[in-house]
Amino acid sequence: MTDVTCVDLFCGAGGLTHGLVLEGIDVVAGIDVDPACKYPFEENNQGARFLKKDVRELRGEDLDALYGKSGIRLLAGCAPCQPFSTYAQRYDIKRDHKWSLLDEFSRLAEESQPDLVTMENVPSLAKNDVFLSFVEKLQRLGYWTNHAIVDCSKYGVPQTRRRLVLLASKHGEFRLIPPTTTEPRTVRQVIGHLPEIPAGGNWTEDPLHTASSLSEINLQRIRASKPGGTWRDWPEHLVAACHRAKTGRTYPSVYGRMEWEKPSPTMTTQCHGYGNGRFGHPSQDRAISLREAAILQSFPETYKFAARHEDVSFSVLARLIGNAVPVELGRAVAKSVKMHLESLEVAPEQAVCDGKSRYTEALVS
């Protein structure tokens, strides 16, 4: 395969980068404003450089310098998705400056003219004007574009996570590979072997295998919870006052246990908290540990998020884990890149886009 060099915008802890690296793509740099990303990004992706920088301060020549004299250039990224999340729909996203980061992504694509572009984000973004403008901009630049709403569990991620994936190429048709499995991996298959720990406890061999503590009332609640159930299964005296009210009836997906024989629910930045979703362990009376959350995001079990001497910060590490692109989805993108390049009948440096930008939208289900 022709050598591919990638710059990863909004790189986070390196989920997308790690998936690309595992499939042989050379990620030379990851860029993010969060300094907490530096250690996991560089520690687990040898040779990849972390740059703490706002993309609004980047220019095309900066990316050109990072790419160097590479063969095929890939620009990848996942612009912060909070303004487009289901939770944020009750707000006017135009009031949030983060919506403009997608415009910065397209500006950098225009200024650096990479051969390939890929972006991952929340599904609801697909119908938003800012995304449609992004796609149209790529088409005007001569890219063939395709985007799909992807069920990540069909690409090896043990999680019911749906994401928008966009692929664009200067060299012709570029699509995500077909699903790699028809039998999603289950919670038991990926975390069932980990040592038992109590709420508030940890495993000395792995600092990340640590669980947040629970109050006495929440200990009673999780003991009354069954896998796949909700707070509606509890005795009345354990039900929170906000759930007794009529409005609380619309929030069944909190204080829940996972199920052993199914993929996990979607990991979020609050995945360490029992009361924040279906993040209760299937059989132990605690929320899932940070390590378990990372594994459910398909990070390798050995992936390092913090140095041994550092204190574990649930809020910081859960944010890095929950915001990450699942590693296995990154691998699927990398395999798609390889399949695309192998399909070219002429050398990439000789290929030119015919200017007939095509646009398709598919549902991978």
Active site residues: 81
Q: Which two tokens stand for residue 35?
A: 């300094």
Closest CA to 268 of 253, 284, 247, 283: 253
CB 163 within 8 A of CB 329: yes
Whose tokens are 């709420």? That residue is 199
Closest CA to 58 of 31, 36, 81, 77: 31
Q: In whole angstroms, what is the distance from residue 85 CA to residue 64 CA?
A: 32
Closest CA to 132 of 154, 164, 108, 87: 164
CB 115 within 8 A of CB 349: no
Q: Which two tokens stand for residue 175?
A: 């699509």
Rg (CA), the chain: 21
Q: In whole angstroms, what is the distance from residue 213 CA to residue 200 CA?
A: 4
What is the CB neighbour count within 10 angstroms for residue 178? 10
- Residue 50, classified by CB atoms within 10 Å of its CB into exposed (0-12), middle (13-18) or buried (19+), is buried
The one-letter amino acid at 88: A
Q: In whole angstroms, what is the distance from residue 249 CA to residue 120 CA?
A: 32
CB 163 within 8 A of CB 183: no
The one-letter amino acid at 166: L
Q: In whole angstroms, what is the distance from residue 255 CA to residue 311 CA?
A: 27
What is the CB neighbour count within 10 angstroms for residue 257? 24
Closest CA to 130 of 56, 79, 63: 79
